[in-house]
Structure 1
Amino acid sequence: MTARPEPLRDVASHAAPAGRYTRPAIVLHWLIALGIIVNIALAWSADSLPDNWVRPVIDTHKSIGITVLGLAILRVLWRVTHRPPPLPAEFPAWERKSAHAAHILLYVLIFAMPLSGWLHDSAWKAAATHPMSLFYLIPFPRIGFVMSQPPALKEHLHDLFGLIHTSLAYGLYVLVGLHIAGALKHEWIDRKSVIRRMLP
């Protein structure tokens, strides 16, 4: 009597069921989201904290920002090789196009925010005497080209990149708010959940 063959296992251990994101995409999405939320909270709380807390909070903000940048690079590389599930066909074409455009802008801001912050920090006049490290564990370089500029130009660049960083932050707040609002609309009003596609 021949043995009954075992069910075929999914050779792609990270493959996702139809209509869902893959596990690595889900993990990266929520890690990036958590990093962004924590960094927003740190940025808004820094001015109200005791003086001896400000520097550690800012250093942590920098570390999280660079970490989010690294995670975003991994997220994009994964997405290039793993097509995300399409939005339900029942959604109007304008809504699908708007969601796609918002996702692209969100990615642009997720990259632009830490890069502008890195440039802003590299132009800081005290950067040379305050080495940067990731979570006080791993030394992390500043951008040498910016650090090597004359003091007056560095001061100007510091202000400029700081303004860009702050402006991008407000744009990020708006897009994150729209992203959450859209997901809740599909969940509660349209009754076509898109949140479940990104849940473990």
Structure 2
Amino acid sequence: MNSRYTGVAIAFHWLVALGIVINLTLPWLWPHLADDRVRPAIDLHKSVGITILGLAIMRLLWRLTHRPPEMPSGYQKWEIGAAHVTHWLLYALISAMPLTGWIMDSAYKDAATHPMFLFGLFEWPRIGTILSLPPATRDAVHDGFGASHVYLSYLLYTLVAFHIGGALKHEWIDRHRELRRMMPVWRRH
């Protein structure tokens, strides 16, 4: 029985993880950046978020068409259940975060005159139905989805901590060698 994830699943995992780390870190840096560096950092945040959304969709499609390896024997039922719930909540959040951000960005009062460029390469479209809302409604959408984006980020911080904590518990305390299941390369001793 193969206990490792496929190379594609591993690549998706670490690319999404890198994007999440970048995007959870950038908002904490904005207050400390020079004024001329804030807008580029926000644009990077948006570009990484859209990239995470695309990777999340591809990762979910891969996951639905490729069965993951079985959990190692010795896991408690509650641990298996907690892992499944955490993974599916993470899938939901890595989709909801970019979507709430995209909606918020599309409702930005100056969105029509300030295009968003994906990594500076090409213009990323705003959501047209939101752009065409009356200004007061658009402001309410911006504020509501902005608040949702922030609250979801706190949930994401929590779930990422549980995910990492669970993996490290299994690796270091239970000695299940959990990390080698998801590492790109693992040396055999």
Shared fold (TM-score, shorter chain, > 0.5): yes
Distance, in Å, in 2 between the alignment partners of 1:153 and 1:113 is 21
Corresponding residue number in structure 2 for 1:128: 112
Give percent identity, aligned residues only. 58
Say yes or no: does 1:28 pair with 2:6. no
Partner-residue secondary structure (3-state), 1:126? coil
Shift of 1:89: 2.2
Aligned length: 184
Distance, in Å, in 1 between the alignment partners of 2:80 and 2:30 is 38
Larger relative contact order (CA 8 Å, sep ≥ 6) = 2
Partner-residue secondary structure (3-state), 1:127? coil
Provide the aligned C-alpha RMSD in A.
0.9
Aligned equivalent of 1:139, options 105, 118, 123: 123
- Structure 1 residues without counterparts, runs of 5 or longer: 1-16
Aligned equivalent of 2:144, options 156, 160, 181: 160
Corresponding residue number in structure 1 for 2:181: 197
- Structure 2 residues without counterparts, runs of 5 or longer: 185-189
Say yes or no: does 1:151 pair with 2:135. yes
Corresponding residue number in structure 1 for 2:29: 45
Say yes or no: does 1:84 pair with 2:68. yes
TM (norm. structure 2) is: 0.95
Question: Contact 1:21 / 1:85 at 8 angstroms: preserved in 2?
Answer: yes
Distance, in Å, in 2 between the alignment partners of 1:43 and 1:70 is 21
Partner-residue secondary structure (3-state), 1:133? strand
Shift of 1:194: 1.5
Question: Contact 1:21 / 1:84 at 8 angstroms: preserved in 2?
Answer: yes
TM (norm. structure 1) is: 0.90
Which string of whole-angstrom CA distances, capped at 9 and with x for unpartnered residues, describes residues 151-191 of structure 1? 01111111100000000000000000000000000011000
Distance, in Å, in 1 between the alignment partners of 2:65 and 2:103 is 30
Corresponding residue number in structure 1 for 2:187: none
Question: Contact 1:183 / 1:193 at 8 angstroms: preserved in 2?
Answer: no
